Structure 1
Amino acid sequence: MIAMNYRFVLPADYDMAVIRQRIASKGHLLDGFPELEFKAYLYADIHSQTWPATQNVYAPFYLWQGSGGMRQFLCGPGFAVLQGDFGRPDVLSWIPLCQHVSTSVQQARFAVRELSAIPPSRPLAELEQQQLQWLGEQQQRGALASISAFDPQRWQLLRFTLWAAPLALHSQQEGYEVGYLAQGQAARGTA
């Protein structure tokens, strides 16, 4: 598994209806994509009545079964169009320590992303055990998907969750609305 995310921070006066329309017209194009568990089309809108943000952001998040699907997407025409429209983003990726995706994941309307540094003194086996406990806690709280992953280049921990309703955020967390959730062949069992 590979978690992947990129973000475009947009001007404060950007019309986020353009992003919502882009998601509505293009979101379904990744349904059935090879090796894709899901793609959450995320956005944050400073004018949202539901979950106001501090900045306008378009930030798709992916969970891949393997690198083949990720490569196919990044080298394909859809990503080329995205680059033409917004420029080439820094594509971040993480190796999952643990993950759970509910059969009800299509009900996701909100996402929370949290990044933190992994101290050099922290044993990774200990971190993995802690994240398994965190995963269980998120399931008990009603998360529709929970992913804990790490980047061994930046030594960064990612915690990502999908929810049916918004919740209170902590200072290190970023909240997003989910415009669409595409599920690939991996999730549909049609690989």
Structure 2
Amino acid sequence: MYAMQYEITLPADYDMKIIRDRVAGRGRLTDAYEDLGFKAYLIRERGTEGSPVNAYAPFYLWKDTGGMNRFLWGGGGFSGIVDDFGRPDVSHWTGAAYRPGPASGAAPRAASRLVRRLPAGADPREPVTRALEEWEERATAAGVHTAVLAVDPRRWETVLLTLWERTPPTAVTDLDRYEVLHLSAPHLAEVPVGRRWP
């Protein structure tokens, strides 16, 4: 299991209808993509949900790296992003845990992302265990469609991505909030549930 995201920051006066139309026209192209657990087509709009920027920021959960490799450099779709916006940096994380939430049967309309850096030089066991406990609590919360925990061992950071049926409750303090325009989940049922180590 592998997670990745690229975030394309757009001008403050950018017409986000362009992105909405893009997703409406192209989102279905990943509805049957090989090795793709899910792709959440995420946007942020300046002034909405506290966002200071306009951004297009799709988040992917892959069953394994084969589909991701094909997408990024095997002619599987990323060239459309490069042609239209230039080549963005792609954040990627080793999948640590995945679980469908109580609202997994509904279409998600919102997402939140919490990124935390591990303390410098610290043994990763304790902070990753704490992140896993937070993930377990989040995954069972009302309104949660999906919860994913992943780790970047190069930058030593964890990311908790949550898809929500509606806007997250005010008690959720994740700074990065998104609108979900479309969810492609062709192989999500094949992604192992739970944490990915014994």
TM-score under structure 1 length normalisation: 0.88
* Structure with more helix by fraction: 1
**2:194 equivalent in structure 1:** none
CA distance in 2, matches of 1:119, 1:182: 35
What pairs up with 1:105-144 in 2 under 5 angstroms? Answer: 107-142=107-142, 143-144=144-145
Structure 1 residues not aligned, in runs of 5+:
none
What pairs up with 1:32-181 in 2 under 5 angstroms? Answer: 32-46=32-46, 48=48, 51=49, 53-75=51-73, 76-102=75-101, 104=104, 107-142=107-142, 143-167=144-168, 168=170, 170=173, 173-181=175-183
**1:23 equivalent in structure 2:** 23
CA distance in 2, matches of 1:128, 1:34: 30
CA displacement at 1:188 relative to structure 2: 5.5
Which string of whole-angstrom CA distances, capped at 9 and with x for unpartnered residues, describes residues 6-60 of structure 1?
A: 0000011000000000011000100111110000000011265xx4522100000
Assess, with a 3 A threshold, how the Cα gap between structure 1 residues 40 and 19 changes in structure 2: closer, same or farther. same
Q: Match of 1:15, SS?
A: coil
Which string of whole-angstrom CA distances, capped at 9 and with x for unpartnered residues, describes residues 38-91 of structure 1?
A: 00000011265xx45221000000000111000011122521111000000101
Q: Compare 150-159 and 124-133 and name the one that shifted more.
A: 124-133
CA displacement at 1:124 relative to structure 2: 2.5
Q: Which amino acid aligns with 2:17?
A: A
CA distance in 1, matches of 2:140, 2:106: 18
**1:11 equivalent in structure 2:** 11
Which string of whole-angstrom CA distances, capped at 9 and with x for unpartnered residues, describes residues 158-181 of structure 1?
A: 1111101112353x6200000000
Aligned length: 185
CA displacement at 1:156 relative to structure 2: 1.4
Assess, with a 3 A threshold, how the Cα gap between structure 1 residues 52 and 129 changes in structure 2: closer, same or farther. closer
Q: Which amino acid aligns with 1:116?
A: R
> Does the aligned pair in 2 maintain the 1:113–1:161 contact within 8 Å?
yes
RMSD, aligned CA:
1.9
> Does the aligned pair in 1 maintain the 2:100–2:139 contact within 8 Å?
no
CA distance in 2, matches of 1:59, 1:106: 21
CA distance in 2, matches of 1:188, 1:140: 18
Which string of whole-angstrom CA distances, capped at 9 and with x for unpartnered residues, describes residues 83-103 of structure 1?
A: 000000101100122111348
CA distance in 2, matches of 1:10, 1:105: 32
Structure 2 residues not aligned, in runs of 5+:
191-198
